[in-house]
Structure 1
């Protein structure tokens, strides 16, 4: 992609998503993520209405009267985008591809962070970690991440979210908000690593999918290609039985993901390439705000 074309695309994404950020997500972002990290500040005498769970028993025993811990909100946060950019993310049959959807979601999150004076960083993964962008503040840094995302092409085949999470845990020491964005076509078991990461950070999982991955269109006998495994096979898409099996596999997979994310204590949203992702993303933010 030529520089002029790249800059134009980045500018279009910025204009579109910054408007969405202001109108829809600014307040929700702040209430959903600000204050999730709290640091100990001081102690004070217990007063009626204070949370008894915050009683400092050591100080209480020393002075023989109740004291409670006082916490301060961590005002400055780092937001990380762990982005699965394996080959399957390029698939799309509706309004946009999964990668184009990822770009828009990443832009909304990045500009939300910028608007709230938070740092934003990113990790690009495929079968391994391929790029790490340290967190920094400001519009120009957010735009740089988006440019890198537009131009990025994985060097390795396959998906290994487990390795991406391991890298994130090892590199990022300060408590951060981390959005794991993927279609989750990964044969490795990454949920234990996700649970560990969530014990140290505020993890949020976002699944991207295309409608044709859920409902197989009637196109007759076609050769289907698996972008992850590189395998090809002929499929009779006119067969009602085949289409029903296809739908059931998608739904079963979605149910399993919901169960596993819930067990890991991670908030989860599923976004479609049909262009109607804003409502689902907004629901995720509103749910966390309660």
Structure 2
């Protein structure tokens, strides 16, 4: 596939995603020892399962956890031995990012597909700078492309390159698998070990019953960060007269001056937002909803400031 010339806000280029590394310092996504970020709770202290790596075996001492006894060494030496572990210094961060036809749209600063790519790039560079293993899965209407998590710039560049190729192949023709998110989440459950962090960047409208169920299963052992994307036109229909829509040969006409129609449309948008909020609260995970209306880093800063505990007087 030939690299299309970048159309600002409509298409993303690899150069733009590489440049995103210079913007990491503008928003504290992951903590430093001197400054606790709201996401540090996700980052190392809230690992589910055994969030540690095996280190060595030594003779059992009073007070050791009996669950850590190494029965093989104990049987061989006839003396109780226990396994020692040390905390992981890095963790796999797996970015699930959507590039489907439903994202190839925007009435704000950028298309939703571009916003998704920008967010994935920023989080990828932040994770790499935090010494984590980075990988992910780019999913769309028909295909998904996976990059296994590794602690290397090459791994991140592979993910970003896949993202750009998927982005530049997008057109306004919808189609393919409507449950592509559920399939992507199922794949994440198959390959990721407990204590990993999944960052989900997808259209707000992508969430369905199957994908919600997959997220609940994933959240039992994996930490989650949810970034649903929307456009102002997802939530409110302007009073612009007769609107014509076409998809796969089907035509639809709507009279946007109809107040009842606009109210029903607004209610659907509010219901989608409420569903994400309920899900995030139920799973106890951060929700950083992004809109094409405002600059991305500005929105992330606002989210993180809102999550930071306020000092009491």
Q: After TM superposition, is the score higher than 0.5?
A: yes
Judge which range, 252-261 or 123-132, deviates more.
123-132
Residues 161-176 of structure 1 aligned to structure 2 (within 5 Å): 161-176=181-196
RMSD (Å), alpha carbons: 3.4
User: How far does the alpha carbon of each residue in 1:3-32 deviate from its partner, in whole angstroms, 9 at most, with x for none?
Assistant: 5957x93223322x2232112225438734
In the alignment, is the contact (CA less than 8 A) between 2:105 and 2:111 conserved in 1?
A: yes
Matching of residue 36 in structure 1 with residue 46 in structure 2: yes
In the alignment, which of 23, 26, 37 is matched to residue 26 of structure 2? 23
Q: For the structure 1 residues 128 and 219, does the alpha-carbon distance in structure 2 shift closer, same or farther, using more than 3 Å as the test?
A: same
Other-structure match for 1:75: 89
Any gaps of 5 or more consecutive residues in structure 2? 7-11, 32-36, 69-83
Q: Distance in 2 between matches of 1:202 and 1:285?
A: 17
Q: Distance in 2 between matches of 1:128 and 1:74?
A: 36
Q: Distance in 1 between matches of 2:263 and 2:115?
A: 27
Other-structure match for 2:121: 107
In the alignment, is the contact (CA less than 8 A) between 1:209 and 1:272 conserved in 2?
A: yes
Other-structure match for 1:274: 293
Matching of residue 206 in structure 1 with residue 227 in structure 2: yes
Residues 224-243 of structure 1 aligned to structure 2 (within 5 Å): 224-225=245-246, 232-243=251-262
Q: Distance in 1 between matches of 2:271 and 2:3?
A: 43
- The Cα of 1:180 is off from its aligned counterpart by 1.2
Other-structure match for 1:65: none
- The Cα of 1:192 is off from its aligned counterpart by 2.3
User: How far does the alpha carbon of each residue in 1:217-274 deviate from its partner, in whole angstroms, 9 at most, with x for none?
Assistant: 2321011246xx8854111122233222211210122112211232233322210011
User: How far does the alpha carbon of each residue in 1:136-160 deviate from its partner, in whole angstroms, 9 at most, with x for none?
Assistant: 2233332221121111147934233
Q: For the structure 1 residues 3 and 160, does the alpha-carbon distance in structure 2 shift closer, same or farther, using more than 3 Å as the test?
A: closer
Higher helix share: 1
Any gaps of 5 or more consecutive residues in structure 1? 47-54, 60-69
Other-structure match for 1:94: 108
Q: For the structure 1 residues 78 and 288, does the alpha-carbon distance in structure 2 shift closer, same or farther, using more than 3 Å as the test?
A: farther
- The Cα of 1:122 is off from its aligned counterpart by 1.3
Judge which range, 253-262 or 109-118, deviates more.
253-262
Task: Please give the secondary structure, in 1, of the residue aligned with 2:45.
Answer: coil
- The Cα of 1:89 is off from its aligned counterpart by 1.2
Matching of residue 120 in structure 1 with residue 120 in structure 2: no
Q: Distance in 2 between matches of 1:230 and 1:44?
A: 74
In the alignment, is the contact (CA less than 8 A) between 1:258 and 1:268 conserved in 2?
A: yes
Task: Please give the secondary structure, in 2, of the residue aligned with 1:75.
Answer: coil
Task: Please give the secondary structure, in 2, of the residue aligned with 1:190.
Answer: helix
Q: For the structure 1 residues 178 and 23, does the alpha-carbon distance in structure 2 shift closer, same or farther, using more than 3 Å as the test?
A: same
TM-score normalised by structure 2 residue count: 0.73
Q: Distance in 1 between matches of 2:130 and 2:150?
A: 13
Task: Please give the secondary structure, in 1, of the residue aligned with 2:116.
Answer: helix
TM-score normalised by structure 1 residue count: 0.78
Q: Distance in 1 between matches of 2:16 and 2:305?
A: 27
- The Cα of 1:83 is off from its aligned counterpart by 1.8
Q: For the structure 1 residues 241 and 107, does the alpha-carbon distance in structure 2 shift closer, same or farther, using more than 3 Å as the test?
A: same
Other-structure match for 1:216: 237
Q: Distance in 2 between matches of 1:93 and 1:224?
A: 15
